[in-house]
């Protein structure tokens, strides 16, 4: 409302009798509030729903078992959708539920257009889409485009001989004269990336398991078939796609050897430094220039549908640079994320440097950040150690949700779950079996959700689950945390609701402030109703209290309880603020 209009209303007030003044004042304040709220709402509607969205990742095997066979399924997700709704998230990303022999637990797909029977039926997925729509929550599905299962009909035909209709649909190559593999490429899951196929007398490429042959994206028929599979799910009404290992679609046609990487430069991103995969620069087996044109083909398909988002997982020699390339020009992917915050590195400086590096390179794209998922040790253990305090979980949720970009949060992080201890006899993950005991696999972050403390198997299933439910997890089960207003779960819910009250935290720009005390400090700024809104955020990464200086011209400190400090009572002119361990605060700046 304009200043002139406000003054006019004040003059009108004066002309009223004292008995009418209160009524008129209430009406005007209500009108002004509606006007401001309406302007904010209109401004927010002009921004794509996925910019600043909170995306909740569900690993379906472990979320909820709807038919009590020990494995989570689509009906289990539907049965728990009220819980999801109360989290305050914008979208749900569901890891693969397609037909699969489950050698890599769904990331080895044998039929892209059908639901695996252990997860239910196609009609169950359609029901899930409908239930999510009731809560205005989008469903994002995982798509594994670079490779299939060796049981997929395409590969079954391709491996027969060199002349069939699918002969060139996978990456086949002759042996060297001495019978060894065509080149030195390595598999992430251990050993050479080539497997001999006697029926063809050739090797085929597999960047992952031997049962996950890589498709030949240089073949236009392959690209068309892949796009047709994606279109199938678009027509089902999905809200978007998380594209697994999307930079692995193309390989170097000449099959050039990858150069060796010095020991000092071996850094794992989704794999450990002692994995032979870390011994090479992966210049030729992934992230090829041709892949960018395919990203544009994908985007052209997505743009034929309303409000569909594409999120690419990028893991390359320079993931931040490639995240920028894969989202460049509003003609490729909408968003990308990498493993850069899924590492053991936990310091304010590392996070600041990582985000600043991407901000400098991603000039017209939109980032997505994750500190946890189904492939890495749970963040409470990875960054907090064996006895991580509850407050750390609260701070990490607030920190992640305050960065510029969208957010992927993994099931169980809202409870503060730690990594489960899985014995070798209980282990299911083929990756862990290969590299045990130095690397114990990914099962520790994939154990079933604990819904209740007292029920057997934590209320996940009445049958023996595919992985055991942690005894420690049952102590902090959903039913226990819902009774405690200060729990990690209720703090997660409170933050997600609170965050939406500050558009600057959802879609504003970010600017970091240098500090030297292991605190992460930045401002987020956005235009709201024609005025700049600037929110300062500070996070104490130390396991002890610190005294922080005041930053900027503070208009007001904000109530960020129960996840961080309730700083409303603080003096805006006070030169210092005491911040407890793993806590922080927010303030509005001029």
Distance separating alpha carbons of residues 479 and 563, to the nearest angstrom: 19
Give the three-class secondary structure for 195: strand
In degrees, rounded to 5, the angle at the alpha carbon of residue 313 between the alpha carbons of residues 127 and 502 is 75
The CA-to-CA distance between both ends of the chain, in Å, stands at 20
User: Looking at residue 463, what DSSP letter applies?
Assistant: S
pLDDT in tens, the chain (590 residues): 344 333 334 333 333 333 343 333 333 333 333 333 433 443 455 899 999 999 999 999 999 999 999 999 999 999 999 999 999 999 999 999 999 999 999 999 999 999 999 999 999 999 999 999 999 999 999 999 999 999 999 999 999 999 999 999 999 999 999 999 999 999 999 999 999 999 999 999 999 999 999 999 999 999 999 999 999 999 999 999 999 999 999 999 999 999 999 999 998 776 778 789 999 999 999 999 999 999 999 999 999 999 999 999 999 999 999 999 999 999 999 999 988 999 999 999 999 999 999 999 998 889 999 999 999 999 999 999 989 999 999 999 999 999 999 999 999 999 999 999 999 999 888 888 888 888 888 999 999 999 999 998 999 999 999 999 999 999 999 999 999 999 999 999 999 999 999 999 999 999 999 999 999 999 999 998 899 999 999 999 999 999 999 999 999 999 999 999 998 888 999 899 999 999 999 999 99
Catalytic residue among 69, 244, 479, 482: 244
244 labelled catalytic: yes
Nearest-angstrom CA–CA distance, 582 and 573: 24
Cis ω before 195 (30° cut-off from 0): no
Residue 56 β-bridge partners: 92, 409
Q: Domain residue spans in the chain?
A: 3-45, 499-589
Q: Is 479 strand, coil or helix?
A: helix
Instruction: Give the residue among 346, 338, 430, 424 at the shortest CA–CA distance from 381.
Output: 346
Query: Tokens 């251990």 map to which residue?
Result: 190
As beta bridge partners, residue 524 has 510, 535
* Residue 299: Cβ within 10 Å count: 18
**Which pLDDT value is given to residue 567?**
87
In CATH, 499-589 is 1.10.357.20: no
Find tokens 């997700």 and name the residue. Answer: 77
Which of 150, 214, 313, 322 is catalytic? The answer is 313
Name the nearest CA neighbour of 95 among 128, 131, 139, 60.
Answer: 60
Give the gyration radius of the chain's Cα atoms: 26
For the entire predicted model, the pTM comes to: 0.91
* Cα 510 from Cα 83, distance rounded (Å): 32
Token pair 């002139």: residue: 4
313 is catalytic: yes
């Amino acid at each position: 409302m304009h200043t002139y209009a406000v003054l006019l209303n004040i003059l009108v007030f004066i002309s009223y009798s004292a008995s009418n003044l209160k009524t008129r004042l209430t009406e005007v304040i209500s009108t002004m509030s509606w006007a401001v709220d309406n302007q904010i709402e209109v401004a927010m509607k002009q921004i794509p729903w996925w910019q600043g969205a909170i995306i909740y990742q569900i690993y379906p095997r472990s979320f909820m078992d709807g038919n009590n066979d020990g494995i989570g399924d689509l009906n289990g997700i539907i049965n728990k959708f009220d819980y999801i709704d109360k989290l305050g998230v914008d979208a749900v990303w569901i890891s693969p539920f397609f037909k699969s022999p489950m050698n890599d637990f769904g990331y080895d797909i044998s039929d892209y257009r059908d639901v695996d029977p252990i997860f239910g039926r196609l009609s169950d997925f359609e029901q899930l889409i409908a239930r999510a729509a009731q809560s205005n929550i989008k469903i994002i599905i995982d798509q594994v485009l670079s490779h299939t299962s060796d049981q997929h009909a395409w590969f079954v035909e391709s491996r027969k001989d060199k002349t069939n209709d699918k002969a060139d649909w996978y990456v086949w190559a002759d042996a060297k004269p001495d019978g060894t593999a065509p080149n030195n490429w390595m598999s992430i899951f251990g050993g050479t990336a080539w497997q001999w196929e006697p029926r063809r007398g050739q090797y085929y490429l597999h960047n992952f398991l031997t049962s996950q042959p890589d498709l030949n994206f240089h073949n236009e028929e392959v690209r068309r078939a892949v796009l047709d599979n994606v279109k199938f799910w678009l027509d089902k009404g999905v809200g978007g796609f998380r594209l697994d290992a999307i930079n692995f679609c193309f390989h170097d046609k000449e099959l050039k050897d990858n150069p060796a990487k010095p020991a000092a430069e071996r850094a794992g991103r989704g794999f450990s430094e002692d994995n032979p995969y870390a011994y090479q620069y992966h210049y030729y087996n992934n992230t090829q220039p041709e892949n960018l044109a395919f990203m544009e083909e994908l985007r052209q398909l997505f743009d034929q549908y309303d409000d569909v988002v594409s999120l690419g997982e990028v893991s390359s020699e320079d993931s931040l640079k490639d995240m920028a390339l894969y989202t460049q020009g509003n003609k490729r992917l909408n968003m990308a994320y990498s493993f850069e915050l899924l590492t053991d590195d936990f310091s304010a400086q590392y996070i600041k440097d990582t985000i600043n590096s991407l901000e400098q390179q991603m000039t017209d794209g939109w980032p997505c950040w994750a500190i946890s998922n189904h492939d890495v040790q749970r963040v409470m253990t990875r960054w907090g150690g064996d006895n991580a305090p509850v407050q750390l979980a609260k701070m990490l949720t607030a920190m992640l949700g305050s960065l510029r970009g969208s957010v992927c949060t993994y099931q169980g992080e809202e409870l503060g779950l730690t990594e489960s201890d899985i014995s070798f006899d209980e282990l299911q993950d083929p990756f862990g079996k290969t590299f045990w005991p130095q690397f114990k696999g990914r099962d520790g972050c994939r154990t079933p959700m604990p819904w209740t403390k007292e029920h057997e198997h934590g209320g996940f299933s009445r049958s023996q689950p595919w992985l055991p439910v942690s005894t420690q997890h049952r102590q902090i089960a959903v039913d226990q945390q819902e009774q405690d207003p200060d729990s990690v779960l209720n703090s997660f819910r409170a933050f997600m609701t609170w965050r939406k009250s500050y558009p600057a935290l959802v879609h504003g720009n970010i600017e970091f402030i240098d500090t030297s005390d292991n605190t992460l400090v930045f401002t987020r700024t956005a235009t709201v109703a024609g005025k700049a809104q600037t929110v300062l955020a500070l996070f104490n990464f130390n396991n002890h209290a610190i005294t922080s200086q005041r930053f900027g011209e503070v208009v007001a400190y904000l109530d960020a309880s129960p996840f961080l400090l309730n700083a409303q009572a603080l003096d805006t002119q006070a030169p210092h603020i005491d911040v407890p361990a793993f806590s922080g605060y927010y303030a509005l700046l001029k």
